[in-house]
Structure 1
Amino acid sequence: MDMLGDDELYSILRRVSDSRDRKSCSEVSKQWARAEGLTRSFLRLLDPQFLPSFLPRFPNLTTFESCSRVSDPNLDLLAHTCPALKTLNLNLHQTRSGLESFDDIRLDEDFGDDGLRAVAAGCRRLTKVFMRRRKGIGDSGIASLVSLAKNLTVLDLSWCSRITDEALGAIGAVSSLSVLCLHGCSLVTDSGLASLSNGPLLSRSIRRLDLSECDRISDNGVTSLRKLSFLQELDLAECGPKVTDAGIVAIASVSSLRRLSVKWLINLSDAAVLALARDCQYLVELDVTGCELITGAGIRAFSGHGSLEILVLASCYNLTVDDVAVVVSGCPTLRYVGLDRVLRGWMSSSVYERLSGVCRIGWL
């Protein structure tokens, strides 16, 4: 083993992806430990207190993950040590074995805008950044990130409770972003959506937008999203009573739309569904769970649609078995229909067998 030079070791270790095997390799000798560190591209941090002691071994990381508390000094060290970083995943999760609950982390223990600014300045190659439930992140940190990370394609700010329309104004100027998740960002309003939509470059790059549980938006904000002319996926679930038929009819004019969730928008009716069936010719997935005003007259409009594959109709109580049968029989591309369990009692076994022979039926 001692006869191997560094180049040979690097070549070997670049082919070892299993974390346990890499750990075993690093224990062979100091030379192997150094080579393993220099060829490591991925690191998941479980205990942040040890980061200063081992991070310098891994200067060529391209992916860094941590679901634990991470301080501003931690991120500053990361920025100076790993300038080649491309993916930064700092999403917090619900408690489960080995992971820290987001409820266990106090605001003053976690990183904020200072740490994010340090990463933005030191890691200019970032393409994907995930910061779900990081409560310390605010508008200024996001503004720094999007202005310095010129190749940013994915940004997840779900449940970052300090994000406001000001951050969306900065994001609107980005030219490379294709995925933006704002799930649960309750301070976002129509003004922020207008800023996103009016970004001349972002409006052409964005493909997926998650606005679920942004309950301060209304039809005006949703209507402004018509300018996102290449949008393929939009999530408006639980956005509140101010999003009605008018907003969905407007967004139906985005011909590129392929996936849409309008779950629990209680003021949607058949008018919205009819517009989607008529105008969204490439739609492959639609979820109208909890839209109780929708009736069979609206859903039947998808009979003959040429692209729809997934249709979720849970908690839609104004639909009948006949309505479902018309859609399933008339939409040849359909492969899954999610139905409310209540409807199961009204569907005969013969009808169920006939429909399930065409597409999968899920009882929700």
Structure 2
Amino acid sequence: MSKLGDDELALIISWVIDQNDRQSFSLVCKQWLNVEGQTRLSIRVFEPELLHKFLPRFPNLLTFESSKRTTNNHLEFIANTCPKLEFLNLKQQSVESQKLDGFDDLLDFDDVGVLAIANGCCKLCKVLFRRRRRVGNVGVISLVKCAQSLSVLDLGRCSLINDSSLEAIGCMNSIRALNLEGCSLVTDKGLTFLATGSSSRTLKRLVLAECDRLTDFGVSLLQGMCCLEELNLAECGPKVTDNGGMAVASIASLKRMNLSWLINVSDITLVAIAGNCSNMVALDLTGCDMITGAGIRALGYHECLESLVLASCYNICAEDVDMVLKCKSLRSIVLDKGLKMWIPMRMQENISRFCQLHWR
């Protein structure tokens, strides 16, 4: 084995997928240890405080993942050690997990760390900062300006993000997916930047859930996004009504839409979706109180719809649900559990023969 050069060993380990096998490979000798480190493309870190001890062994990393508390110094070290990074996943754990781990936001990284990443890792294509609540506009603006190939950006629950970040994102030519869930400082002005800038020609997935400062004016501007395939407006508040609903229903490219808990969206929007969104495969109407049988029946002739969620929709009846089965493409339907007692068992069995029936 001592006659094998680094190139030959690298070729051999390229066929080793299992991480345990790679670990065993690295224990053979110092040469094999070095080759394994040079060829490692991804890593998931559970103890960022130990980065200085092991990260220099992996200079060619393309993917770095960690959900643990990470400091500005950690990010600066990552940027200096792994300049080839393409995917940075620092998505934080759920709130419950944070409490169990004793997670302290005040010790987590902020814009200083993001600036280091922006300057050191210009090849980034995908960045996830979800629930990193100290990330702000300064860091995000620098990131989108430096990472010219950035296509996926998750800022969900980053509560400091406002329209300033959206102005920079709106100028991007590469962005494909943007998550702004829970960014409550985002307003119609921010949507103007997204809908009128270069991003309007590239965005395919946009999550605006719980951005409750939005109104029909901003939402209506989204109809200019000609490539948009997935739109999430869940819990955007009472200022989003049928005016906004009909506007986004004119986006012919839409395949997935979430209108959950938009209490002022009614059958008018559903009729528009049924008539204009011929590519729609998934529609979530949870908690849309104004939806009635008239709107549901309009979907009965849709040719592509596969998933329909009607939980907490109290103005529909068994006959309305039965009519939806005319939609031959339907594969899954979610109904409010309160409706279960009003739908005869025979009808439930009939529905189950055509698609999966779930109660919520």
- Written as runs of structure 1 = structure 2, the 5 A alignment for 1:87-126 is 87-94=87-94, 100-101=98-99, 104-126=102-124
- Structure 1 moving runs of 4+ over 6 Å: none
The residue number in structure 2 matching 1:318 is 315
The residue number in structure 1 matching 2:2 is 2
Read off the aligned partner of 2:56 and give its amino acid letter. P
User: 1:67-109: per-residue Cα shift (whole Å, max 9, x none)?
Assistant: 011111111111111111100000001278xx75598333331
- Written as runs of structure 1 = structure 2, the 5 A alignment for 1:15-26 is 15-26=15-26
- Written as runs of structure 1 = structure 2, the 5 A alignment for 1:42-191 is 42-94=42-94, 100-101=98-99, 104-191=102-189
Identify the match of residue 279 of structure 1 among 272, 276, 280. 276
Q: Where in structure 2 are there 5+ consecutive unaligned residues?
A: none
- Written as runs of structure 1 = structure 2, the 5 A alignment for 1:231-246 is 231-246=228-243
Tell me: CA distance 1:340–1:120, structure 2 relative to 1, closer, same or farther (3 Å): same
User: 1:282-341: per-residue Cα shift (whole Å, max 9, x none)?
Assistant: 11111101011110011101121111111111111110000010111x211111111111
Distance 2:120 2:100 in 1: 26
**Alpha-carbon RMSD:** 1.4
Q: CA deviation at 1:134?
A: 0.5
Tell me: CA distance 1:238–1:103, structure 2 relative to 1, closer, same or farther (3 Å): farther
Distance 1:77 1:7 in 2: 28
Q: Secondary structure in 2 aligned to 1:4?
A: coil
Residue pair 1:93, 1:102 contacting (<8 A) in 2 also: no
The reply on whether 1:269 has 2:263 as its aligned counterpart is no
The reply on whether 1:334 has 2:330 as its aligned counterpart is yes
The residue number in structure 1 matching 2:285 is 288
Provide the TM-score with structure 2 as the length reference. 0.97
Distance 2:53 2:331 in 1: 52
Read off the aligned partner of 1:188 and give its amino acid letter. V
Q: Secondary structure in 2 aligned to 1:214?
A: coil
Q: Where in structure 1 are there 5+ consecutive unaligned residues?
A: none
Distance 2:52 2:153 in 1: 27
Q: Secondary structure in 2 aligned to 1:132?
A: coil
Distance 1:105 1:273 in 2: 43
Distance 1:34 1:351 in 2: 65
Q: Percent identity?
A: 49
Q: Secondary structure in 1 aligned to 2:44?
A: strand
Distance 2:331 2:48 in 1: 46
The residue number in structure 2 matching 1:35 is 35
Q: Which region of structure 1 is more displaced relative to structure 2, 101-110 or 136-145? A: 101-110
Residue pair 1:87, 1:127 contacting (<8 A) in 2 also: yes
The reply on whether 1:12 has 2:12 as its aligned counterpart is yes
Distance 1:189 1:336 in 2: 34
Read off the aligned partner of 2:240 and give its amino acid letter. V
